[in-house]
Structure 1
């Protein structure tokens, strides 16, 4: 009887972490993690922020934008499992998924290195890939440690990250946004002293005079005044870069690569790992 109880307990534990073959992922970094752990072929749907890797996500049905999820978008795909960012909204849509017999896992998704590692660990446990998750986390920790060592004592350039919300509206990332935290981790100083995203004008950019300007790869339609930008230190020294929005803001399995890219931008490619 005791052996039977132990066996039932083991089977119960296994069932709580087993993955299904029909997964919907909500959150670009979560989708990246699922693919990195070798389960891209189990995905049957993703949200709009899941743009990488394109060869997988572009072929999948879209369930809507992760901050305004329509319930029918997820339910129409009849998933067995939904793995969703803790930042996804509306909460009532996510909370009701279990009522339809859908296993729902809410994943920690804060703008920090610790949260990124926890995210990978959580998804690894759900998919039965804890060993692979541990390997990815170790790689990130090792690379981040090298980055910190190389930028130690170096001057911090003033950095501005911009992206477009369409119709000529330019937004700048504040200190507590994901790009803002990434800028700090990579050894830069954010010229925006507000915590969140804020609208910004070309005149304000000129006044702030950043040493480095990074634009998301969607900012080409923002209507940014190129003459004004060219008059900043960043423009004069050719320190204007484009970067994938998910890479700089996703805290994904590629965050060590993102931090390497950023730190190289901030140090004129003079670090040992710069291309």
Structure 2
């Protein structure tokens, strides 16, 4: 990470540590696996043969660990790997789930990002007594490695998870070496959407903020946390050197709309026409491909890194960590 762990709020560190703390299985559950999840629940897992994966990063990790045959269903953010997800039953968007849709797949285990919802749906699933593990969304380098280890432990695939976490850690090291060549960090604004002339931009403590930092940039928005709508005056005052966004099938924030926007037209980014759009899961999912995504952003923002970036060979993509 660019910022040290000490610069993150203490509460995030505590939650992250709790989330990956394995509990000692009681004698009554010989051979079972027990963990404490992101919501502080003690969950015992004795069968992962029909796992519903709610969260694109979770699905990516399961696939990388060679556990795709155990996936009984996915959510709509699970778009990669296509060969794995294309024929899986889909339970819908992770924040708009229905209890019937999830429970109807007869899962033996549910892995869900801790932002999954709505609340009443998650409560209904809990009431059904199906083992459910909430995976922490800690948008940091260490948080990603812990996520991989936790998922591997829950699935009784610790060795495979260690292999994948090591490969991703090596990718982060390659990224650090690339980033060290940046002499003037660019101010980058991540824009989630531009609807009716209103931009929604990412502040601190977001996946977008971390990707900007991992790619060697500085978030042009540092006055708030999360994603919020901002007016033209705030856009001009932020002085972004570049705009970063996600590609969508509809309502995409296209470069032409950016150049024509009265606020963005007055920014340094408009003068240099610096605009980067990437697949949403690849860019913000915080799965095994995150270092590669940050590399791609860096190579676009800083043309002088293009050749070294071409030598960046993601270990996570080539490592054989299948359980």
Query: Structure 1-normalised TM-score?
Result: 0.85
Could you tell me how far apart the structure 2 residues matched to 1:180 and 1:121 are?
Answer: 24
**Structure 1 residue aligned with 2:200, among 159, 162, 171?**
171
Question: More displaced, 74-83 or 58-67?
Answer: 58-67
Partner in structure 2 of residue 4 of structure 1:
none
Partner in structure 2 of residue 162 of structure 1:
191
SS in 2 for 1:52: coil
The CA deviation at 1:100 is 2.6
Cα 1:273–1:10 change in 2 (3 A) is farther
Could you tell me how far apart the structure 2 residues matched to 1:176 and 1:100 are?
Answer: 33
The CA deviation at 1:101 is 3.9
Cα 1:213–1:165 change in 2 (3 A) is closer
Question: More displaced, 98-107 or 120-129?
Answer: 98-107
Question: More displaced, 48-57 or 136-145?
Answer: 48-57
The CA deviation at 1:226 is 3.0
**Structure 1 residue aligned with 2:214, among 182, 185, 188?**
185
Partner in structure 1 of residue 31 of structure 2:
13
Partner in structure 1 of residue 305 of structure 2:
270
Partner in structure 1 of residue 230 of structure 2:
200
**Structure 1 residue aligned with 2:178, among 142, 146, 150?**
150
Could you tell me how far apart the structure 1 residues matched to 2:194 and 2:129 are?
Answer: 37
Indicate if the aligned counterparts of 1:144 and 1:259 stay in contact, CA closer than 8 A: no
**CA distances 1:191-231 after superposition (whole Å, capped 9, x unpaired):** 11222111135665455342221121027544734334566
Could you tell me how far apart the structure 2 residues matched to 1:119 and 1:258 are?
Answer: 18
SS in 2 for 1:64: coil
Q: Calculate the aligned-residue CA RMSD, in Å.
A: 2.8
1:68 aligns with 2:126: no
**CA distances 1:145-173 after superposition (whole Å, capped 9, x unpaired):** 22223323621101011122766653111
Aligned residues: 268
The CA deviation at 1:126 is 1.6
User: Within 5 Å, which residues of 2 pair with 1:1-275?
Assistant: 9=27, 12-14=30-32, 19-152=47-180, 154-164=183-193, 169-193=198-222, 194-201=224-231, 204-218=234-248, 221-222=252-253, 224-228=257-261, 229=264, 232-270=267-305, 273-275=308-310
The CA deviation at 1:188 is 0.5
Cα 1:74–1:254 change in 2 (3 A) is same
What 5-or-longer segments of structure 2 have no aligned partner?
A: 1-25, 34-43, 311-323
Indicate if the aligned counterparts of 1:150 and 1:271 stay in contact, CA closer than 8 A: no
SS in 1 for 2:243: strand
Indicate if the aligned counterparts of 1:18 and 1:127 stay in contact, CA closer than 8 A: no
What 5-or-longer segments of structure 1 have no aligned partner?
A: 1-7
Query: Structure 2-normalised TM-score?
Result: 0.73
Could you tell me how far apart the structure 2 residues matched to 1:65 and 1:106 are?
Answer: 16
Could you tell me how far apart the structure 2 residues matched to 1:48 and 1:156 are?
Answer: 35
**CA distances 1:178-199 after superposition (whole Å, capped 9, x unpaired):** 1112211221111112221111
Could you tell me how far apart the structure 2 residues matched to 1:86 and 1:104 are?
Answer: 11
Could you tell me how far apart the structure 1 residues matched to 2:295 and 2:275 are?
Answer: 16
